[in-house]
Structure 1
Amino acid sequence: MKLFLASGNAHKVRELREIAAAENAALAAQSQLGGQPACPLAFTIESAAVLGGMPPVVEDTGSFLGNARKKARALVPLLPPDGWALADDSGLCVDALEGGPGVESAYFAGPQADSAANLQKLVEVMRGIPAERRGAHYVCVLVLLGAGGREYSVRGECHGRLALEPVGQGGFGYDPLFVPRGFEHTFGELPEAVKRARSHRSAAWRALIEQLAQ
């Protein structure tokens, strides 16, 4: 199954490839332990760049699902006959900000802002907010759309809290500020394998695989 990621973000392509490989390895191990033949799922994840680039999309629907669906639909006309468009829309929802920045996470500091500016703005906005009000969760919605119009959509979440200051160089976006539940270190500090297993994107991918298996 050929999946083309409706994004110009090379990091997302790499992360989804790693997540898919890890989940396939886990599935194969579980099958062997259960006495059944290993049956990893055959996915190829490619960047929209191999189709000529991701068409411009205005993410103005106001929801993760709406934005992901809009991106997937924009890529469908470029798909090969056996291809599927996989779109991701994700963001960080902060309790003290009534769920913000949410769908505006990529533009929190302005339409031209980069991830460093977005992170710094969140640090400043949250300055002085006590620990008990620093709850937050990441959201990822995946939409898988085929050229024939068949659609799958799933949602994954990762809950935790915000540190007082960014710590660590790993991950990207708000990761140096986000401490996942059950840990004392940020995603910026934790090993990639830990983040891969606990992230909102991993949760969404697992949910997608479950839907496809049915």
Structure 2
Amino acid sequence: MKRIIVASNNAHKIKEIKQILEALEFEVISLKEAGINVDVEENGNTFMENAYIKASEIHKLHKEDLILADDSGLMVDVLGGAPGVYSARYAGEHGNDKKNNEKLLAELKGKKIEERTARFVCAMVLITDDERVIKVQGEIEGYIKEELSGGGGFGYDPLFYVPEYEMTFGEMTEEMKNSISHRSRALSKLKEELQKIK
């Protein structure tokens, strides 16, 4: 069975990717599970640039495996696309969901719901070998609520409201979120490519 190393140590992200790709005959593992301890500097200007930087750095170390990297985040229209590539460290400290959400709410204070349009974006890069690089992107549109709602998910999930479902990502079950999220939309495109290279 071929291995896919996901160039991430984000447990939430790894879990989502494993669940969405489980039907395919690949062993999906994290950097930690692969015994890789590398801190890749993400200095790209776009999600796709960052995903490629991560994938290519890990590919140099593990050429026998497929390498998958994703970079994702939230883009709020009225904030000019912020937090964007800085989503995980919007408030200054990497991965502090509470502070990131507080900063976002402060930035949007007083804005009406129609001014709070946003989208989650997920860019993915899969390097299969030295010759082949597959790039896909998934997005989902929504609004930023005025307060946290729901205890599920991670990051900005309790603030991201999806009108068609009348709930935030934080209020959805894992299965529901995984069926409609930006990451699942990117992964469904990736699945089509993976089926060709089994």
Point out the more displaced range, 193-202 or 175-184: 175-184
Unaligned runs of 5+ in 2: none
Listed as ranges, the matches of 1:155-166 within 5 Å are 155-166=137-148
Partner of 2:17: 16
Report if the CA contact (8 A) 1:138-1:158 is conserved. yes
- Cα offset, 1:188, TM superposition: 0.7
**1:194 maps to which of 172, 176, 179:** 176
Q: Which has the higher helix share?
A: 1
Report if the CA contact (8 A) 1:177-1:186 is conserved. yes
Partner of 1:58: 41
State the distance in 1 between where 2:36 and 2:84 align. 26
State the distance in 2 between where 1:56 and 1:146 align. 21
- Cα offset, 1:146, TM superposition: 2.7
State the distance in 2 between where 1:73 and 1:151 align. 9
Report if the CA contact (8 A) 1:160-1:180 is conserved. yes
State the distance in 1 between where 2:162 and 2:142 align. 4
Partner of 2:105: 123
Listed as ranges, the matches of 1:167-186 within 5 Å are 167-186=149-168
Report if the CA contact (8 A) 2:4-2:29 is conserved. yes
Q: TM-score scaled to structure 1, two decimals?
A: 0.86
- Cα offset, 1:51, TM superposition: 2.7
**2:50 maps to which of 67, 92, 113:** 67
- Cα offset, 1:80, TM superposition: 5.9
User: What is the CA deviation profile of residues 173-213 of structure 1, one whole-angstrom value per residue up to 9, with x for unaligned ones?
Assistant: 00000012302211111111110101000000001112334
Unaligned runs of 5+ in 1: 25-40
Point out the more displaced range, 5-14 or 109-118: 109-118
1:152 aligns with 2:134: yes
Partner of 1:211: 193
| Local SS of the residue matching 2:187 | helix
| Local SS of the residue matching 1:128 | coil
Report if the CA contact (8 A) 1:77-1:147 is conserved. no
Change (3 A) 1:120 1:79: same
Output the amino acid matched with 2:25: A
| Local SS of the residue matching 1:161 | strand
Partner of 2:31: 48
Partner of 2:3: 2
| Local SS of the residue matching 2:33 | helix
Report if the CA contact (8 A) 2:88-2:94 is conserved. no
State the distance in 1 between where 2:37 and 2:156 align. 24
State the distance in 1 between where 2:34 and 2:61 align. 6
- Cα offset, 1:162, TM superposition: 0.9
Output the amino acid matched with 2:180: R
Output the amino acid matched with 2:45: G
Output the amino acid matched with 1:182: E
